[in-house]
Amino acid sequence: MAFPVILLALLVFSHCGYSQRSPSPGYYPSSRVPTSPYDRDFRTQWGFQHQRREHDITTLWLDKASGSGFKSIRPYISGYFGASIKLQSGYTAGVDTSFFLSNHQEHPGDHDEVDIEFLGTTPGKPYSLQTNVFVRGSGDRNVIGREMKFNLWFDPTQDFHHYAILWNPNQVVFYVDDVPIRTYDRKNEAIFPARPMWVYGSIWDASDWATENGRIKADYRYQPFVAQYRNFKLAGCTADRSNSCRPPSAAPTGNRGLSQQQMGAMAWAQRNFLVYNYCHDPKRDHTQTPEC
């Protein structure tokens, strides 16, 4: 019976897309940014009893009582923001583990946000990494999400991997282990985030929508749901230093866009692992997303 078990394991491994290796992007922005100590740059925002720090790892967990989240001390108007994250294996449906930029507390109902979210799953199915951009909108007013969802080319529960957002006046770039997976360009001032934002991380119950559009909910028989963060990278222009700060570059060519090698790596990621693109959704009203 050993052969069928091994074959099944290989099929699951292949189905989840973990058999591929990413091409080199040729430029590694995470290596150019020093690690930011959690205690210097962040504060626990909520769920104080559901968070702990041991050595260089910050652990958040969700159970039936609460989740947890943290927030940067300073707001930024541009920068490179990253963290190495390890997710929980097994049943995690309904759970949202996130690392994102936002000003939702300062502009409730009218905020900007740039998201990296890991949407929980069931055993045998891969996590979805959802990227999103909100510009002056949130759930209590007019929602205009710009979601693009990806599977990953590795198992995010087996080790830490680095996820990052680079935001400068011209572009937002989402990275996975320095491979750019998505860009969002400034084509129109009205649809590009430009107000100061803080850096957040959290784990919370998003059963209403996270897994198969809310069909599968969080099941607290499997609690606690755990996420680990380390190797935080914050290199940005804070809101009070806007006149003297140069925003970081997305590429070796400066702020003129990604290099040809980076574009090739991004095309590989989108060709093989992109599973949802809001611009291609026929159910969306694309008069609200002119960038498409």
Looking at residue 141, the DSSP 8-state letter turns out to be S
Q: Is 117 a known active-site residue?
A: yes
Rounded distance between C-alpha atoms, residue 214 and residue 218, angstroms: 10
Residue among 117, 147, 189, 291 flagged as catalytic:
117
The CA distances from residue 158 to 22, 23, 227, in Å, are 17, 20, 12
Residue among 113, 147, 189, 212 flagged as catalytic:
113
Hey, which residues does 100 pair with through a beta bridge?
A: 115, 200
Looking at residue 120, the DSSP 8-state letter turns out to be -
Rounded distance between C-alpha atoms, residue 75 and residue 160, angstroms: 26
Whether residue 178 contacts residue 28, with contact meaning beta carbons closer than 8 Å, is answered with: yes
Rounded distance between C-alpha atoms, residue 208 and residue 233, angstroms: 31
Count the helix, strand and coil residues of the chain and give each as a percent rounded to the nearest 5: 20, 35, 45
User: Catalytic site residues?
Assistant: 113, 117
